[in-house]
Chain A
């Protein structure tokens, strides 16, 4: 009776995915295609929008900023998330549940509100600067917003759950006996970490890193509020072109480049890691 739940009838899988696929087609694929077609037709047919984007030092700098910020955020997020995920995997389940609740709760809070909170904390007269000055670590307030530091702090905070969750999933599945075996064979703690745990956790790091990097590439709110214009990222450029200048050709071209980069990274990840993990 429940035969439709078994994987044997493969054809029905596509059928069940149909509503979602149709929805994506109508509300994602078609609008994106329309925007992309504008990038080669507005204001006149041709590739001039791409020439402008890829031929000017200013726009190349925006591409560079986008990759720099996304790369930094991914790296720092991974460094912080790894020990957290590891600790979550080995601590008693009840305690892990409480910490998960805290992590998820932060995800459910409005993004804008969280970013404003960082603005208030990090500004010249903010809590962080006042604490550092009160403890005598600095005697002048340091610049923590409107620059790369501000964007990185704000985005790492927002991206952490997206790295912790896949890492936790992978680390949890690693048999603790393997680490014991490593110790029995004479591996020091750092050897066990580098040569046993890290390689086994690599698929989790890779999928978390891809998710964080790709999400960062298209981020708007946090860079806009915590970064200065000198650190402008691609999403901000698209908003300017589409909203302020009504130049949808340029906006479409920038969006298309972003899409191509994202798909290329996804393909690369599939090639490098999916094969090994399965």
Chain B
């Protein structure tokens, strides 16, 4: 992979010297960005002749600093969707050009003036079957919070983001259609009951390590990371009951140097084929409505968009509006 990256960069630099057409795409690294490089950037370069330099990881502080300094080195960035909505309002992003990006084919849940979906994922309950070999296997959010019935550490996403708060409220008996506005007092009270059993994961690789090693035999994970463990032959239990969807977004920071190339790149990345290929590789769901028809039926059944029966869509607009308030409280609670 290292050599591939070096070659890609070398090729990109050579190409840029030839026709000065290049742009920078920034994402979160790991297998996700590898797939984005392979299925979005490479076909785009082939078609448009624009080299795509890869950078990362995504860093919101850096985006803000670049925009304020007027020196924006990133042209397209993969961010969390709720952050994108908030940042658009705060003036950190360029409005997207929907003459170039065909939004008619995109899932309207993940389209806004400043951002379109990159892919979407579900937070699902994952567990190590070796630790729960009895009759009962964890299935519901209530089980996830029940340390008497299912003992052991649980692992949750460390950063303030849609997912864990919703899970706590569902576990406490809040009906799925009454989650918003979020009752933070109630959520933190529920989280308090298992606080000493929580190990936080900061990134996908760490979440996989915690589950595979048995350090945390149960937790709330990005579905794609569990799919990757299964693909490696590890037995992993997954419960889609009350799976909570959230999305990543593609955005263009305000003042990006290659705005036109950026819009064209987003158009390619959200096209039916690019989205279908990416989903096939990563286990994350496509945001292009035409993509599922391009994918194998068997594979589609494992994606979040086949699990709508007990699915909850995290309210991105609510999160965008209350991100700071929830974040401050979240981190203060963690440190208590």
Most buried by B among A229, A237, A240, A244: A244
B151 to chain A, nearest CB (A): 12
Q: Are A229 and B202 in contact (CB under 8 A)?
A: no
Cα A146 to Cα B331 in complex, Å, equals 16
Q: Are A61 and B328 in contact (CB under 8 A)?
A: no
Residue of A123, A229, A242, A247 touching B215 (CB-CB under 8 A): A123
Which segment of B10-18, B57-65, B254-262 sits at the interface? B57-65
B313 interfacial contact with A, CB 8 Å? no
Q: Which of B291-334 contact A (CB under 8 A)?
A: 323-324, 327-328, 331-332, 334
Q: Which residues of A contact B327 (CB under 8 A)?
A: 240, 244-245
Q: Which residues of B contact A123 (CB under 8 A)?
A: 213, 215
B3 interfacial contact with A, CB 8 Å? no
> In this complex, what residue of A is CB-closest to B323?
A245
Residue of A58, A61, A232, A246 touching B61 (CB-CB under 8 A): A246
Q: Mark A227-260, 1 if CB is under 8 A from B, else 0.
A: 0111010000100101111111000000000000
Q: Are B59 and A243 in contact (CB under 8 A)?
A: yes
Cα A230 to Cα B214 in complex, Å, equals 22
Q: Which residues of A contact B112 (CB under 8 A)?
A: none
B175 to chain A, nearest CB (A): 30
> In this complex, what residue of A is CB-closest to B327?
A245
Cα A266 to Cα B214 in complex, Å, equals 45
Q: Are A244 and B213 in contact (CB under 8 A)?
A: no
Q: Mark B151-170, 1 if CB is under 8 A from A, else 0.
A: 00100001110000000000
A248 to chain B, nearest CB (A): 8
B199 interfacial contact with A, CB 8 Å? yes
A241 to chain B, nearest CB (A): 8
Q: Which residues of A contact B199 (CB under 8 A)?
A: 146, 228
Q: Are B328 and A229 in contact (CB under 8 A)?
A: no
How many residues of chain A are within 8 Å of chain B by beta carbon? 24
A224 interfacial contact with B, CB 8 Å? yes
B154 to chain A, nearest CB (A): 12
B335 interfacial contact with A, CB 8 Å? yes
Interface bracket on B: 20 to 34
Contact status of A61 and B64, CB under 8 A, knowing A123-B213, A125-B215, A244-B327: no
A85 interfacial contact with B, CB 8 Å? no
> In this complex, what residue of A is CB-closest to B68?
A248
Residue of B90, B324, B334 touching A229 (CB-CB under 8 A): B334
Cα A123 to Cα B60 in complex, Å, equals 31
Cα A246 to Cα B67 in complex, Å, equals 13
Q: Which residues of B contact A244 (CB under 8 A)?
A: 60, 159-160, 327, 331
Contact status of A232 and B334, CB under 8 A, knowing A243-B60, A246-B64, A247-B324: yes
A253 to chain B, nearest CB (A): 14
> In this complex, what residue of A is CB-closest to B195?
A230
A34 to chain B, nearest CB (A): 10
Cα A229 to Cα B155 in complex, Å, equals 13
A56 interfacial contact with B, CB 8 Å? yes
B200 interfacial contact with A, CB 8 Å? yes
Q: 5 A-B Cβ contacts within 8 A?
A: A58-B335, A232-B335, A237-B331, A244-B60, A245-B328
List 18 extra interface pairs beyond A124-B215, A225-B202, CB under 8 A: A56-B332, A58-B332, A61-B335, A124-B214, A125-B214, A145-B215, A146-B199, A229-B335, A230-B334, A232-B335, A237-B335, A240-B331, A244-B60, A244-B159, A245-B323, A245-B327, A246-B90, A248-B64
Chain A residues close to B by CB (< 8 Å): 56, 58, 61-62, 123-125, 145-146, 224-225, 228-230, 232, 237, 240, 242-248
